[in-house]
Structure formats: structure tokens, C-alpha cells
Amino acid sequence: MTEVVDTIFAAFHEAGGELYIGEPVTVAEHMLQCAALARRDEAPPELVAAALLHDYGHLVATEGEDAAERGIDTRHEELAHAYLERWFPPAVTEPIRLHVAAKRYLVAVDPSYLDSLSPASQLSLELQGGPMSPTEREDFEQGGHALAACRLRRWDDTGKDPAAAVPPLESYRDLLESLLRR
Ligand code: FE
């Protein structure tokens, strides 16, 4: 099982150094910050793992980190889900799959939320479909994992501090191994 975590960590090392779409941190720094915020908020292990891995789709995507600026939605949440679901249970992979939907949901239900988004995240919001319609909101609320996805989303929006000092990737090895499908 160690090989799975090694594969994941290798992706961090290979592609995590790219800047995170218009933000002052790299993709790897961003993901580590999100995981640290989840730990700080005493999230369950599955959700800490989700925070750590939520942008795995950016690590394995081939479109480049400036895709949104070129008008492309890479659907990185679906890509991450496709990679990770063979290794981890839904409590890890569903919040990841839903973290973009959660942004569209929060914009629709909380008028102040849009202002809290970075310019890059506001740009990608339009490509991702903009605020949810009332029907979409209802489906999202009833679909399961909505609360976890919204918690992940808040960390996603916060974990962009160029000065943050966070625990290293290796500190999550045991947590990830404990969650792998047997
Ligand atoms: Fe993110």
C-alpha cells in the first residue's frame, strides 16, 4: 500500500511546484495549507485527506495552470476523483469531486462569499457555470457530502498565504495509508 502514497507524493514533487492559477503560492503549498487548516479545525481524517488531495487533478492535468485564463475549464475536480476513487473511500473523494460545486453553491446562498474569492477564483467560477440555480442548490443539498464539500471549499479559499509555514507532505503519510481501500 506504501506504493500508492509514493505515487501520490511523486505527483506533488513533479507538478506541485507550478504556481496555483493566478495565486501567490504553488499548487503543492496550497494543498498543504488546506490540509493544515483542516487539521486546525479538527476535521475528521477523511476530510483532512480530502483537503490535502483536493487539487490532485491539477497535478495530473496536462492543460497547464493558466487554463482558466485561456478560457478552459479543466474539470480538475472530476479528474482528481477519477484518479483517487480507486484508492480512497467516498468520504475522501466525494468532497473533492464536489469542491467546485460547493463554490457555485456558496456564491448562490451567501452574497458576501463572492467578495471573499480571489480574482482567479472569480474568473474560473464563470467557466464552471456561475452561481447555482435554485434546483441545482436543492440537488446539491440533498446529494450527500455537501457539508464536507463546503468545509473543504472554505479552506480552499483561505489556503493561499505566501507566508504560511505548514507541516510537510510526509507528515500525512500515516493518515493517507490508514484511509486506503483494502
Ligand atoms: Fe484548491
**How many angstroms does the Cα of residue 31 sit away from the middle of ligand 1?**
7
Range of the domain at 62: 2-179
Beta-carbon count within 10 A of 30 CB: 25
Of the two residues 120 and 172, the one the predictor is more confident about is: 172
Number of domains in the chain: 1
Query: What would the grid cell of residue 44 be?
Result: 475528521
Which domain CATH number covers 167? 1.10.3210.10
Q: What pLDDT, on a 0 to 100 scale, did the predictor assign at position 17?
A: 82
pLDDT digits (tens, 9 = 90+) for 118-142: 998 999 899 999 999 999 999 999 9
Give yes or no for residue 14 having a pLDDT over 70. Answer: yes
Residue whose C-alpha cell is 457530502: 145
Beta-carbon count within 10 A of 53 CB: 27
Spatial separation of the C-alpha atoms in residues 82 and 23, rounded to whole Å: 25
**How many angstroms does the Cα of residue 153 sit away from the middle of ligand 1?**
8
In 41-89, alpha helices (H): 45-53, 56-60, 76-84
What pTM was estimated for this model as a whole? 0.92
Give yes or no for residue 70 having a pLDDT over 80. Answer: no
**How many angstroms does the Cα of residue 142 sit away from the middle of ligand 1?**
24
